Chains A and B, each alone.
Chain A
Amino acid sequence: MRRSSLAWALGTCLLAPHTSVLSKPLNELSSEGIELVFPRLADTGNAVPFEAQITAPSGLHLKALKVILPENPNPLALQLKIMGEPVQYTLKTRLRLAASQSVWLVAVFNDGSERAHHAPTVITSTACLDDS
């Protein structure tokens, strides 16, 4: 439990420069309208497929997305500014994870409001040492 709360505290500290642009801590934001596709068990930490489907609240459209990996040395994995005022958006990419963790997706809308959702994964590594 201690390790987990230390990791969470560290993650939050690392997020500090980034959370300064957010209105609230991530876990207080609503996750409505966000669907994440992320494997529960990742084949390898070096390439974890990630998909985010975002539907904007009615009357609003999407302006920006952030993908955050709190346990990575550089937690801000990807930041997108979106033009064209979409109400639906699907983002797909592949991420490198330093350790098992949750990926966070933050969606920013045109009125400045934010929503966030997260999905956990456990990194599996190859059973045999690879020194090739």
Chain B
Amino acid sequence: MLRSAFLSLLFCGSLTSAAQTVASEAFKLPSGPLNQLSGQAFLSPSLKAMQSDASTNPISLWLEQARSLWTGSSGQTSCAQCHGAVETMREAATQFPKWSVKQQKLINLEDQILTCSQRTPRPLKGLENTEVLSLSALLHWSSAGLPFQISAKEEIKQQWQVELNAGAKLFTTRMGRMNLACTHCHDLNIGKTMRADVISPGHPTGFPIFKLSWQSMGSIDRRLRACYSGVQAEVPAPGSPELRQLELFLKSRAQGMPIEGPSLRR
């Protein structure tokens, strides 16, 4: 592929195209311990530039949709009617996943948004629904700078520990045709390249993400499912308990790292 690109350059007759600016400089990781870097450090300069300005960042569209949904300016039932101003929900995104006593399972922020919406005249369906993702984006945006604060009340601490242990076990268990565990790449081989990807520690500080290769926003649930397909393992259905357990483990592993708000990824 590279060879034909080179040859087509020759064919086009111009090896020294002085009038072409190379938009992306060589990508470099910062110095220091790699295992504490968020995905932000692994963005190309081109993506960093796109993300830095609200007028070029695709996420702005989702945030604006969410603000209008929250305050109900489009004439529908609004979140503000129950929850008040979104500023008062600043800590919400830092506290998920939670153990739901009612549903007897771990739920994350997108699950909670779906549940909330069932109480309105306009219930939403599907974790990757645009409105669910835009509301999640707005709530994470409000929490930007705050660290994850995952904890369990005394009465559910035991169940909590069971879920966390399950997540830790999943992270260190080999799976798929490639027979790899998450830890093999995301703990032991951070900074190494696979094709044009540089392996990150996989911290969940930038969700929900706008992934350019998806051409849409997506939740942590979707991204973890993509990881399963990445090692050629059977992909769990959206909302599966293992995905929530992994999310719980990842956020515990990232304790103290600040939420970055919804972020771009390639």
State in angstroms the CA–CA spacing of A131 and B9 once bound together. Answer: 33
Smallest CB-CB separation from A122: which chain B residue? B5
Contact indicator per residue, chain A 110-132, by CB within 8 Å of chain B (1) or not (0): 00000001111010111111111
**Stretch touching chain A among B74-82, B86-94, B155-163, B230-238:** B230-238
Which residues of B3-29 are within 8 A (CB) of A?
Answer: 4-5, 7-9, 11-14, 17, 19-24
CB-defined contacts of B5 to chain A, threshold 8 Å? 100, 120, 122
Contact at A1–B7, with CB atoms within 8 Å? Answer: yes
B98 within 8 A of A: no
Smallest CB-CB separation from B2: which chain A residue? A122
CB-defined contacts of B223 to chain A, threshold 8 Å? 132
Smallest CB-CB separation from B218: which chain A residue? A132
Contact at A46–B218, with CB atoms within 8 Å? Answer: no
Which residues of A77-132 are within 8 A (CB) of B?
Answer: 100-102, 117-120, 122, 124-132
Contact at B20–A3, with CB atoms within 8 Å? Answer: no
Smallest CB-CB separation from A102: which chain B residue? B12
Contact at A132–B222, with CB atoms within 8 Å? Answer: yes
CB-defined contacts of B154 to chain A, threshold 8 Å? none
Contact at B19–A31, with CB atoms within 8 Å? Answer: yes
> Which of A4, A35, A122 has the largest number of chain B CB atoms within 10 A?
A4
CB-defined contacts of A127 to chain B, threshold 8 Å? 194-197
Contact at A132–B13, with CB atoms within 8 Å? Answer: no
Smallest CB-CB separation from B222: which chain A residue? A132
Contact at B8–A39, with CB atoms within 8 Å? Answer: no
Smallest CB-CB separation from B9: which chain A residue? A120
Shortest beta-carbon distance from A88 to chain B in Å: 15
CB-defined contacts of A51 to chain B, threshold 8 Å? 23
A residues apposed to B, CB below 8 Å: 1, 3-5, 7-8, 27, 31, 34-41, 43-44, 46-47, 49, 51, 100-102, 117-120, 122, 124-132
B residues apposed to A, CB below 8 Å: 1-2, 4-5, 7-9, 11-14, 17, 19-24, 44, 46-47, 50, 194-197, 212-215, 218, 222-223, 225-227, 229-232, 235, 266
Q: 10 closest A-B pairs (Cβ-Cβ)? A: A128-B230, A131-B229, A124-B196, A127-B194, A132-B226, A43-B266, A127-B197, A44-B213, A127-B195, A47-B212
Q: Assuming A38-B20, A39-B24, A120-B5, what are 13 further A-B pairs, CB within 8 angstroms? A: A36-B19, A37-B23, A43-B266, A47-B213, A102-B9, A122-B2, A124-B195, A126-B266, A130-B214, A131-B235, A132-B218, A132-B222, A132-B235
19 contacts between A and B (CB under 8 A): A36-B20, A41-B24, A43-B212, A44-B212, A46-B212, A46-B213, A46-B214, A46-B215, A100-B1, A100-B4, A102-B12, A119-B17, A122-B1, A125-B213, A126-B195, A127-B196, A128-B194, A128-B230, A130-B229
